[in-house]
Amino acid sequence: MLTLSAISIMTMNAGNLEKGVDRNNLDLSVKPGDNFYQYACGGWQKANPLDPQYARFGTFDQLGENSREQVKDIITHLGDNQPKGSIAQKVNDMYKLGMDSVRLNQEGANPLKADLARIDNAKRADFMSIIKWLHMGIAAPFFNTSVMADLKNSNENMFYLMQGGLGMGDRDYYLEKDVNTVKVRNAYSNYIEQLFVLVGYKKGAAKTAAKNVMKIETELARVAMTREETRDYSKLYNVMTIEQLKSLYKNIDWDVINVKNVDKICVFQPKSIAKVNEMMLSLKDQEIKDYLKFKYIDAAANYLSDDFVQANFDMYSRAMSGKQVMQPRWKRSLNVPNTLLGEAVGQLYVEKYFPADSKKKMQKLVDNLKVALGERISSLTWMSPKTKVNALVKLNSFTVKIGYPDKWRDYSGVEIDRAKSYWENVKAALQFSAEYEMSQLGKPVDKDRWYMTPQTVNAYYEPSTNEICFPAAILQAPYFDPKADDASNYGAIGVVIGHEMTHGFDDQGRNFDHNGNMVDWWTAEDAEKFKALAEKLGNQYSAEIVADGVHANGSFTMGENIADHGGLRVAYSAFKKTDQGKGNEMIDGFTPDQRFCLSYANVWAANITKEEILRRTKVDPHSLGVNRVNVALRNMDWFFKAFDIKAGDKMYRTPEDRVGIW
């Protein structure tokens, strides 16, 4: 049996506590045994009513707002006299282009005219070259493409073909018949029609074009895999040679795609590509043109005049999510360089806002959590010694990335020119990014690459590189606060760390070995035991009603639920090694274990619209905040002890019904 070497535990002096659990976040009218989420977060919810510019807003989003304000401060102080071609010039000019509402409204649809004319004038033989052009960062008609590590050879990049082409993002929006889904679908059809009117179509022609688009997207939806099916990598890994691809899907001109340095390709959803192959013969020229034009206009809408932006908001934000008010222009404009020139902004961000000691303290926390997870794996009763050895090897092989990359992205190849329209510059940045992705083909996988920018409030686990990553922006209060006690930090950022580690062992991550290859390192008996435990956990979430009689989807959210489950257990185990965790000293009326649970719950404090609840239940692999708290904690024995929750209380779950995986 492998063991992990003991690593010193970072502790914080509770006697000098300045921050941590805030009593104002509580709703003391609710008993913790009745609804712990409401008890822990109700005060926060009342004090932070939902701003109509948001469909959901919580402590997670507050941290995002803080990061946005920091980035705004950086960008708005850059000034216009930056050296041409410098990072500062590109970031500043992109932001200023978005802020120039007078120019944007004067230009209207003009920035689109040349490209729309190209589609209008295309012959059938030209369609594939237009599809290829759109796929270079602009839009994804008919299918999606990606370059990423070969699932079974993590050192090599592979080209992937995937189902796509759906403007509403998920097949259920096209197929289900409940009231909310029909309402969203009708809004989408109206939106398509509206965009065609805005580019000069007459009302009748716009209505016909919208019907053509809906026809194509609905056909694609009918053959698309379900959300649950797309979680099974064994069904997705369908590798074939380019010759086989051409033989199977003869109506698609793959030569035009011109993928260089490729001898094989992975088709995630063959049924979807087969449908596209069929469509290339069955669809009329005008139907294809309308569809391609809509994809293009839709991609550009947020970078045009106010009427386009408003139409886009009314569809994707109001109808789908329940937002009532558009974000101010500065936020929308800031998001463009912050995303399209993300690491350029990130360089400026870390120079000003990320202290070096935060990286050191975070590394200690990660080390502590690795020890705790290793000990938990070693003590599992349901797993055999053989599988435990492989699990510990994988854990010991984790790469940990904290704060920001050691090597920054080079943006010298993209030009931002204020003499050109906003959309032309956005398009250039999008195409530059797509060309960068395509350039990775034929090259080894870049293990130093980051998939989030430093100013992003989030974290991730990447199975192909077996790495966990924590950008600088998430390493701030209330997630990580050097002035708070251990219970508060381990309950917040500690669980986030444990969550990302556990992704390496969730229902998807467990299929990859320590090298990031899709290899079955489990015994058959252990795999069956894991699946049984995971299914039991999934059923707990699926039993929860989210809104309008709709249940949560415990299968679709399985990976995130397992990660929350493991994150809580691992962070708590690590916390119990600290001086505070070993004792029982009260702080502000709460025991250490109570503060740990309250800190965790406050991470997910939020208000959310009903529309957004229903949308996320369709498209978001994460459970709603209330379930991330109440369902997850009801599997922890120590939670019931901490708040004296007993049989008869609504939060109580019998010991035999509690799930313990990691």
Same domain, 127 and 266: yes
| pLDDT confidence tier of residue 82, bands split at 50, 70 and 90 | very high
Residue 45 has pLDDT above 50, yes or no: yes
Which letter does DSSP use for residue 227 in this model? Answer: T
CB-facing half-sphere around the CA of 573: CA atoms within 13 A: 22
- Amino acid 254: pLDDT: 86
In a domain, 384, yes or no: yes
Same domain, 279 and 367: no
Across 144-165, average pLDDT: 96
Same domain, 275 and 367: no
Strand partners, 343: none
Greater confidence (478 vs 395) lies with 395
Residue 12 has pLDDT above 70, yes or no: no
Output the domain CATH number for residue 167: 1.10.1380.10
Which tens digits make up the pLDDT trace of 189-234? 999 999 999 999 999 999 999 999 999 999 999 999 999 999 999 9
Which tens digits make up the pLDDT trace of 364-373? 999 999 999 9
Mean pLDDT, rounded, of the chain:
94
In a domain, 26, yes or no: no
Phi, psi of 584 (to 5 degrees): -140, 30
CA distances from 89 to 100, 412, 416 (A): 16, 11, 8
Residue 569 has pLDDT above 80, yes or no: yes
Q: What is the rounded CA–CA span in Å between residue 456 and residue 501?
A: 19
Output the domain CATH number for residue 368: 3.40.390.10
Residue 13 has pLDDT above 50, yes or no: no
- The distance in angstroms from the start CA to the end CA of the chain is 17
In a domain, 77, yes or no: no
In a domain, 27, yes or no: no
Across 159-179, average pLDDT: 96
CB-facing half-sphere around the CA of 282: CA atoms within 13 A: 10
Which range among 108-117, 241-250, 562-571 shows the weakest confidence by mean pLDDT? 241-250
* Tokens linked to 571: 């962070």
The whole-model pTM stands at 0.91
Residue 145 has pLDDT above 60, yes or no: yes
Same domain, 468 and 601: yes
Which tens digits make up the pLDDT trace of 537-565? 999 999 999 999 999 999 999 999 999 99
- Amino acid 482: pLDDT: 81
- Helix/strand/coil percent split, the chain, to 5: 55, 10, 35
Q: What is the rounded CA–CA span in Å between residue 590 and residue 577?
A: 19
Greater confidence (123 vs 478) lies with 123
Q: What is the rounded CA–CA span in Å between residue 522 and residue 634?
A: 28
In a domain, 157, yes or no: yes
Residue 72 exposed, middle or buried by CB count within 10 Å (0-12, 13-18, 19+): middle
| pLDDT confidence tier of residue 10, bands split at 50, 70 and 90 | very low
Last residue of a domain, one of 301, 318, 338: 301
Residue 432 has pLDDT above 50, yes or no: yes
Same domain, 295 and 363: no
The count of residues in the chain is 662
Which letter does DSSP use for residue 162 in this model? Answer: E
By DSSP bridging, strand 56-58 and strand 606-608 are antiparallel
In a domain, 97, yes or no: no
The residue segments making up the domain with residue 266 are 122-301
Sequence letter at residue 94 = M
| pLDDT confidence tier of residue 1, bands split at 50, 70 and 90 | very low
Same domain, 185 and 277: yes
Same domain, 166 and 237: yes
Residue 271 has pLDDT above 70, yes or no: yes
Residue 128 exposed, middle or buried by CB count within 10 Å (0-12, 13-18, 19+): middle
- Amino acid 518: pLDDT: 97
- Residue pair 150/158 in contact (Cβ under 8 Å)? The answer is yes
- Amino acid 19: pLDDT: 59
Which range among 6-10, 221-225, 333-337 shows the weakest confidence by mean pLDDT? 6-10
Same domain, 248 and 387: no
- Amino acid 476: pLDDT: 84
Last residue of a domain, one of 252, 279, 301: 301
- DSSP-based three-state secondary structure for 200: coil
CA distances from 654 to 635, 649, 650, 658 (A): 9, 11, 11, 7
Residue 185 has pLDDT above 70, yes or no: yes
Q: Pick left, alpha or beta for residue 227 (phi over 0 → left; psi -120 to 50 → alpha; otherwise beta).
A: alpha
Which tens digits make up the pLDDT trace of 444-454? 999 999 999 99
CA distances from 161 to 155, 458, 570 (A): 19, 27, 37
Which tens digits make up the pLDDT trace of 400-412? 999 999 999 999 9
Same domain, 267 and 393: no
Residue 17 has pLDDT above 80, yes or no: no
Other CB atoms within 10 A of residue 158 CB: 20
- Count structural domains, the chain: 2
Q: CB under 8 Å to 433, separation ≥6 — which residues?
A: 137, 340
In a domain, 644, yes or no: yes
CA distances from 499 to 6, 503, 578, 619 (A): 21, 6, 20, 20
Q: Pick left, alpha or beta for residue 601 (phi over 0 → left; psi -120 to 50 → alpha; otherwise beta).
A: alpha
Residue 441 has pLDDT above 60, yes or no: yes
* Tokens linked to 431: 């195409």
Across 552-579, average pLDDT: 97
In a domain, 43, yes or no: no
Q: CB under 8 Å to 109, separation ≥6 — which residues?
A: 198, 199, 200, 304, 305, 308
Same domain, 465 and 613: yes
Strands (E), 437-563: 460-462, 467-471, 545-547, 550-551
Same domain, 470 and 615: yes
pLDDT over 70 percentage in the chain: 96
Strand partners, 282: none
* CA dihedral (156, 157, 158, 162) positive or negative: positive
By DSSP bridging, strand 550-551 and strand 545-547 are antiparallel
Residue 3 has pLDDT above 70, yes or no: no
Same domain, 552 and 646: yes
